[in-house]
Amino acid sequence: MFFNREHTRTPFVQLDTKKCKACWKCVGNCPGEVIDKVDLPWHKHALIAEPGACTGCLSCIDICPFGAYSIADVAKQEKATHRQHTFTNFVVNNLLLVSGLVMIFSGLVMQLAFHMGEHDARTHEDPGDFVRYEQARHIDASKTVCGFSYAAWSTIHKSIVVFFSLLVIYHVCVHWKWYKGVVAKHLMGKNMHVIVLSVLFLLVAITGFVPWFVDLSGGKSLVRLLFIEIHDKLTFVLIVFLVLHLVKRARWFAATYEKLEK
């Protein structure tokens, strides 16, 4: 009975009796008294006496100097970990997709529906040869789009931008090794689309956050308007690259969804 499968494993750990040298460290250090021993003159090794009492503390793995214990069904554990990782990436990518669409839509509403970007631009030189760029934005405060005023759309846009940015930071951190590998292996040419998309998002984020902070700090409106103009123009370029990226990733979304359904 000492060689039965149930006496060499629990739901959390498994014992390789061939590696066991009968030092009995695991027996004395198991908090649940799960482990016993076979102490015959010609046959000595540890024994999983109470598999159901194992709580998965893994102290036996840590204490055994001969590596007789290991996590049960490592392949299944790795598969479960990979599935969890895939599920997390799938959720994050879907959140990026949805929040990105909301971010783009709210930004376009603010730009087009409320006539943001309509401007009377003119340059003139003062005695100090200083060229000044003036921009007059006309916003109808009484106007609503889909039942929301400009102030409401601005709040929606800013909130979703912050949420989207946090998701992007997480996404980049998870795939940081990939970015490093692309640079180290000189594969930027083959992945130029993703690199350009990343740089574009960074520029759009910076040019979008700077006016926000300038406004909060009570800084000069000229600087704020200049960054808004750059932000508006870069956003249209970013939209094109985002659409291309989504088209390329469509198969991944479909394949991942099928895997998670199984």
* Partner residues linked to 46 by β-bridges: 37
At CA 11, angle to CA 257 and CA 69, rounded to 5?
115
The share of the chain scoring above pLDDT 90, in percent, equals 15
Nearest to 15 by CA among 89, 74, 71, 65: 71
The share of the chain scoring above pLDDT 70, in percent, equals 83
Contact 13, 56 (CB under 8 A): yes
pLDDT of the residue at 122? 42
Domains (range + CATH), the chain: 5-72 (3.30.70.20), 77-261 (1.20.950)
d(CA 11, CA 71): 9
What is the arithmetic mean of pLDDT over 198-202?
Answer: 89
Query: In angstroms, what CA-CA distances link 238 with 44, 92, 182, 201?
Result: 68, 20, 21, 7
Tokens of 97: 């997709």
Nearest to 88 by CA among 227, 260, 225: 260
- Mapping DSSP to helix (H, G, I), strand (E, B) and coil, where does residue 247 land? helix
pTM: 0.60
Query: In angstroms, what CA-CA distances link 247 with 158, 242, 243, 251?
Result: 26, 9, 6, 8
The 10s digit of each residue's pLDDT in 146-181 is: 888 888 988 999 899 999 999 989 988 888 888 888
